């Protein structure tokens, strides 16, 4: 076998224009605090916390040490009918952060797995509750819930589903919440609570007793930060409660302080029945996802199974992996010790001021934001998405990483960021946008 060093050919990269990338690669060789370092030695400010993962900043030694120590003591424990202390400790820590009635945590390895797990728990709950006819899921246009078949089935983003036939049937999408009249709204928009009535219309059309769950990202993330209109989540909650439909919040991006509170649920004062989480759960240092479930769902599924039998036929080889649990425990300790959620809340006004100051730029057609996350739309060029890609590349070589979806940029600095980092971020963004426009 011939060994070819330094080839990029063999790795088929995810969500990447592979051919373009391999002609002009952008490799990160080091990361520390709020900065990344590329393979040419350049320093890059991380304006999206990686992919919304590294809330506590990169290179946290406490997390690395915890993982190293764990692997040296116990590297792997089968998670079926066996356990290790770390998963119970982490689950208790998570349960202490979630709303009062949500106290049971199921572990998996990613946000996508968390979504599939949440859908399956919803199905299992209704079956255990004698309502197995609830087979329909309600999602929303422009939703991103990961890439597994469950998540793609409830996806509202066309590119993520058009190549894949044979996804789950019985999914209906509510309208998304972007409205022209809400353009450049900071925080929760005034208009759009009535869009939650789409759920009521599905109840009226299909029958409330056929619907299993309604799932939303409280702030729609990957599509470009759509903050829920005032009253919108409350109305979804009401309709779900009245009709026995479970409300699932996908907190994969919103969770762990991004909105200035532990979860979006607390930020908006609306409690779902199930919450999915991942990403910042381990500060991105280990792959991990989790689903937190209300007591009534957990207890119903437990009680429906004969004593001594397996209650939920679901789980992964790496559910609650010891190294991931160690990373999660160390991460949550950092969040608490450094008051990072409170720091995010304190920095929010400064951050949003700085980002919304970009609205005078001709190329920007809308800005939205809440807490420490914001999205901006670019005036599209002739090929949709091309301008976003060009800007992302240019930003990278100008020293700023920002996640893009098509022509929409998403800014989500690490929660440890200082005002000077926000200034630096917006300065690079403005200069690069002006250059692109010239």
Interface residues with ligand PLP (CB under 6 A) are 110-112, 115, 144-146, 217, 221-222, 250, 252-253, 278
Tokens of 253: 């991006």
Number of C-beta neighbours around residue 339 at 10 A = 13
Nearest-approach distance from CB 176 to ligand PLP, in angstroms:
14
Using CA atoms, how far apart are residues 54 and 34, in angstroms rounded to an integer?
Answer: 9
CA torsion sign, 430 to 433 to 437 to 438? positive
Residue owning tokens 């609830």: 134
Rounded to a whole number of angstroms, the minimum distance from the CB of residue 105 to ligand PLP is: 17
The residue among 47 and 208 lying less far from ligand PLP, judged by its C-beta, is 47
Nearer to ligand PLP, 235 or 258 (CB): 258
Chain centroid, CA 416 distance in Å: 19
Beta bridge partners of 367: 376
Closest to ligand PLP by CB, 139 vs 222, is 222
Q: For ligand PLP, which is the closer residue by CB, 51 or 95? A: 51
CA gap 403, 110 in Å, rounded: 18
The CB-of-48 to ligand PLP minimum distance in angstroms stands at 11
Nearer to ligand PLP, 203 or 233 (CB): 233
In the complex with ligand PLP, the residue whose CB is nearer, 246 or 252, is 252
Q: Cβ 220 to ligand PLP, closest distance in Å?
A: 8
- Smallest gap from residue 157 Cβ to ligand PLP (A): 11
Nearer to ligand PLP, 154 or 426 (CB): 154
- Give residue number: closest CB to ligand PLP: 111
CA distances in angstroms from 232 to 19, 145, 223, 257, listed in the order given:
42, 19, 18, 21
Question: Strand pairing partners for 171?
Answer: 137
Q: At closest approach, how far in Å is the CB of 253 from ligand PLP?
A: 5
Minimum CB distance to ligand PLP, residue 143 (Å): 8
State whether the Cα torsion 16-18-19-23 is positive or negative.
positive
Cβ proximity of 211 and 202 under 8 Å: yes
Cα–Cα distance list, 118 to 9, 100, 111, 151 (Å): 36, 19, 10, 10
Q: Which is nearer to ligand PLP, 121 or 358 (CB)?
A: 121
For 405, phi then psi, to 5°, come to: -120, 110
DSSP code, position 209: G
Q: Closer to ligand PLP at the Cβ: 378 or 410?
A: 410
12 CB neighbour count, 10 Å cutoff: 7
Q: Among positive and negative, which fits the CA dihedral 28, 221, 329, 287?
A: negative
Contact 219, 253 (CB under 8 A): yes
Q: Tell me how long the chain is.
A: 438
Question: Least distance from C-beta 175 to ligand PLP, angstroms?
Answer: 18
* 90 vs 220, beta carbon nearer ligand PLP: 220
> How far is the C-alpha of 306 from the C-alpha of 128, rounded, in Å?
12
Q: How far is the CB of 397 from ligand PLP (least distance, A)?
A: 25
Is residue 359 helix, strand or coil? Answer: helix
Task: Return d(Cα 406, Cα 22) in angstroms, integer.
Answer: 20
* Shortest Å, Cβ 392 to ligand PLP: 16
């Amino acid at each position: 076998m011939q060994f070819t060093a330094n080839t990029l050919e063999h790795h088929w990269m995810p969500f990447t224009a592979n051919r373009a990338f391999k002609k002009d690669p952008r490799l990160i060789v080091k990361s520390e605090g709020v900065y990344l370092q590329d393979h040419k030695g350049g320093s890059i400010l991380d304006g999206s916390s990686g992919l919304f993962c590294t809330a506590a900043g990169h290179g946290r030694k406490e997390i690395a040490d915890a993982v190293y120590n764990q692997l040296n003591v116990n590297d792997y424990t089968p998670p079926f009918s066996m356990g290790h202390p770390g998963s119970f400790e982490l689950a208790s820590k998570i349960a202490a952060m979630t709303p009062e009635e949500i106290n049971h945590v199921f572990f998996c390895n990613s946000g996508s797995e968390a979504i599939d797990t949440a859908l399956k728990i919803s199905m299992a709950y209704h079956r255990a509750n004698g309502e197995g006819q609830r087979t329909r899921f309600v999602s929303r246009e422009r939703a991103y819930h990961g890439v597994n078949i469950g998540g793609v089935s409830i996806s509202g983003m066309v590119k993520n589903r058009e190549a894949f036939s044979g996804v789950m049937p019985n999914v209906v999408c509510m309208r998304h919440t972007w409205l022209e009249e809400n353009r450049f709204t900071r925080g929760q928009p005034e208009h759009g609570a009535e869009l939650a009535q789409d759920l009521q219309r599905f109840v009226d059309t299909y029958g409330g007793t056929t619907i299993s769950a309604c799932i939303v990202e409280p702030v729609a993330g990957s599509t470009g930060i759509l903050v829920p209109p005032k009253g919108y989540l409350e109305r979804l909650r009401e309709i779900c409660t009245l009709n026995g439909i479970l409300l699932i919040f996908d907190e994969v991006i919103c969770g762990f302080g991004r909105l200035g509170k532990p979860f979006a649920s607390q930020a908006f004062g609306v409690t779902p029945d199930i919450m999915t989480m991942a990403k910042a759960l381990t500060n991105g240092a280990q792959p991990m996802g989790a689903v937190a479930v209300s007591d009534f769902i957990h207890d119903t599924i437990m009680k429906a199974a004969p004593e001594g039998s397996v209650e939920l036929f679901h789980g992964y080889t790496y559910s609650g992996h010891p190294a991931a649990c160690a990373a999660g425990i160390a991460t949550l300790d950092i969040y608490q010790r450094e008051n990072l959620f409170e720091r995010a809340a304190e920095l929010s006004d400064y951050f949003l001021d700085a980002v919304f100051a970009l609205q005078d730029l001709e190329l920007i057609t809308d800005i939205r934001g809440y807490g420490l996350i914001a999205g901006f739309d670019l005036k599209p060029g002739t090929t949709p998405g091309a301008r976003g890609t060009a800007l992302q590349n240019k930003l990278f070589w100008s020293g700023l990483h920002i996640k893009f979806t098509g022509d929409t940029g998403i800014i989500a600095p690490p929660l440890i960021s200082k005002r000077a980092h926000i200034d630096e971020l917006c300065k690079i963004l403005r200069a690069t946008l002006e250059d692109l426009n010239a």
